[in-house]
Amino acid sequence: MQSSTQFQMIVSFTKQINITHHRLLSKIILCLTLIVLIVACTGKSKDQSSPSKTKEPSIQEKIKINELSGQGIDLNGYKGKTIFINFWATWCGPCIKEMPSIERAKNALKDSKIEFLVASNEAVDQIQSFTTKRNLNLHYVQLQNLEELAIPALPTTYIISPAGELVFSETGYREWDEATNLELLTKIINSHE
């Protein structure tokens, strides 16, 4: 009789475990279902943008330059062209030494889709005085946000592809009309046409 009672106790205990296990499993499933429903009702889909996250501006949007007349320049207006921007100053010896080579490179690549700009953050009258004394045929512009661009030293040169990507950045003097440098510029121009 004792084995029968033990058997009944084991069956009863097993039923209780199954019932408890079943109740626990049901509660877990109910909680998970509620969580999924709450997230689905309040969450954003992948293609919706969050208002707190803004798109990083392109390099063309980051660089703020003006013609010496004061008119703003939208670098997106050079669509389809490579943009060569040299950041310089009238007091910078290496900048001044580099400028004739930029002019010669510009002349050597005159039939290519490249725009050469030389940008200083100095006062317009300082830049104009420099252009009169130096008599270089370059497109001088006034940079509005040197500090924001975090340019470490002058001269610094950026080359921006027609797609608006910064493909070259270098600080320091360079002879831009040397064969290796003209080849570098030509490669950049041709790789993005």
Rounded to an integer, the average pLDDT of 83-108 is: 98
2-8 average pLDDT score: 59
For domain 59-191, give the CATH number.
3.40.30.10
Residue 19 confidence (pLDDT): 59
Q: Which residue has the higher pLDDT, 28 or 56?
A: 56
pLDDT at 7: 53
Whether the predicted pLDDT of 82 surpasses 50: yes
Say yes or no to pLDDT of 23 above 90: no
Confidence grade of residue 136 (pLDDT, cut at 50, 70, 90): very high
**Average pLDDT over all residues of the chain:** 84
Output the pTM of the full model. 0.72
DSSP string covering the chain: -HHHHHHHHHHHHHHHHHHHHHHHHHHHHHHHHHHHHHHHHHPPPTTSPPTT--PPPPHHHH--EEETTS-EE-GGGGTTSEEEEEE--TT-HHHHHHHHHHHHHHHHTTTSSEEEEEEE-S-HHHHHHHHHHH-----EEEES-HHHHT--SSSEEEEE-TTS-EEEEEES---TTSHHHHHHHHHHHHHT-
Identify the pLDDT of residue 1: 55
Specify the pLDDT at position 44. Answer: 45
**pLDDT surpasses 90 at 129:** yes
Q: What is the model's pLDDT at position 57? A: 87
Least confident of 26-30, 68-72, 94-98, 177-181: 26-30
pLDDT band at 192 (very low <50, low <70, confident <90, very high): low
